[in-house]
Amino acid sequence: MEHLIEVAFKGNRREFFRWSFEAPPPVKAPIIVEVERGEDLGRVHATGELAERRKAGTTHGREQREPLRAALRIATADDAARAEALRVEEETARRVAVQKARALNLQMKVSDAEWQWDRRRLTFFFTAEERVDFRALVRQLEGHFGARVQMWHIGPRDEAKRLDGVGHCGRQLCSAAWLPELLPVKTSLAKEQRLSTITPTQISGACGRLMCCLRYEHEFYVQARKRFPKQGKIVQTAEGEEKVENTDIFRDLVTLRNPGGELRTIPLAQFKRELGGGGVPLDDEPREADEETEEPEERSADAFETRRAAGRPERGGVRPDARPDARPDARPDARPPRPEAPAGPGRTVPGTPSTDAAPRAGGESTEGPDAEARRARRRRGRRGGRRHRGDRPPGSSGGTPHGGGPGGPPPSTPNR
């Protein structure tokens, strides 16, 4: 049965391994593990469910690829003594690297050195403002120590994590003690917590950057300030026009300044009651009546009669006094009549006698066989275009549309 274990090395460096034995090793026990080139010694940091959660939630856990390397065995007392002797030699190796870097005029700071337990690899950790070409330095160090040399460029926060130390609070640095991931800290976090006016050295950690603990309470400050007015805003209260001078999110107090320069500090609840000058809380502020607000569908007969007596029409209706010349039976969407076509062959103008027109019953007259077709086309045009497309034979391209020419079939008149 395999167990997932997290192993800690020098400088708070941690990695995950697979333990193939039946019982997991005890926490803080020295253990020999398999690495890229040989073997190394570390101490068990976490096992079981805790190791599973840390692998899913830490940076070094997400970066490690499967399959994980194996943890070989529990270290003996001789193995642990050998590792302690290497810790003493690492400081000497770091000083040698510093001297050779200065001789090559390399702008870098060698912070730490770490021997692998089997002495097959020596790793140096350094910081630098710019990119450094250290190939010549690596060749000199490999010839001096007779082992493979690696150079790792780290940042100021990673340097503080490796070297460890004590913060302003008097406790061990969070990055070296328990912080699983080093996230960047922006100056906006200090501004939102009203710490930007303090001396930068007072809010900076051992690494020279803003302290990591500024991120811990940032979400609390963001949520708490949403209940308060913005500082510097001009508001209208029961005392008149005032300016928000300061806010205290811990004691729920708001400090206001009037045009005369007088200051007064009131609780946040009282400020909300006074806001608006009418002594009305923000949550209970009444809405202004709107005559055009949509009314409910169900209305009583009394309400209808009241609106009618006041001259207000029903919803969707037309007021009777909207147009003096409006007729009760007039359609609101009726269009004006289309003017008649000019006189021509087979056409007549009102008031002009037609030679081919015969009197009809009721005083009407006909205007020829093609006049009815023209009237039908005009009616169809007013009603939205050509509708009876089936009247025209498929593929026909000449003649009068809809067969309205002389000698053709009678035009089809749409139902009105």
> Can you give the residue range of the structural domain that contains 256?
227-274
Going by pLDDT thresholds of 50, 70 and 90, the confidence category of residue 337 is: low
Q: Is the pLDDT of residue 296 over 50?
A: no
Within this chain, do residues 113 and 86 fall inside the same structural domain, yes or no? yes
User: Is 305 a domain residue?
Assistant: no
Going by pLDDT thresholds of 50, 70 and 90, the confidence category of residue 300 is: very low
Predicted local distance difference test score (pLDDT) of residue 335 = 53
User: What percent of the chain lies above the pLDDT cut of 90?
Assistant: 41
Going by pLDDT thresholds of 50, 70 and 90, the confidence category of residue 336 is: low
Q: What is the pLDDT of residues 268-293, one digit of tens each?
A: 999 988 885 443 333 333 333 333 33
Residues whose CB falls within 8 Å of the CB of residue 199, separated by 6 or more in sequence, listed in order = none
Using DSSP's 3-state secondary structure scheme, residue 328 falls into coil
User: Is 263 a domain residue?
Assistant: yes
- Alpha helices, DSSP H only, in 25-149? 48-57, 59-63, 77-103, 135-145
Within this chain, do residues 89 and 25 fall inside the same structural domain, yes or no? no
Indicate the residue among 106, 132, 154 that finishes a domain. Answer: 154
Asked whether 405 and 370 are in contact (CB, 8 A), the reply is yes
Q: What is the dihedral of CA 99, 103, 109, 115, to 10 degrees?
A: -50
pTM as predicted: 0.58
Q: What is the pLDDT of residues 357-386, one digit of tens each?
A: 444 444 444 455 577 888 877 777 665 544
User: Is 162 a domain residue?
Assistant: no
Section 140-158 average pLDDT: 94
Q: What is the pLDDT of residues 32-91, one digit of tens each?
A: 999 988 999 999 999 999 999 999 988 888 888 889 999 999 999 999 999 999 999 999
Within this chain, do residues 27 and 71 fall inside the same structural domain, yes or no? yes
Predicted local distance difference test score (pLDDT) of residue 372 = 81
Tally of domains in the chain: 4
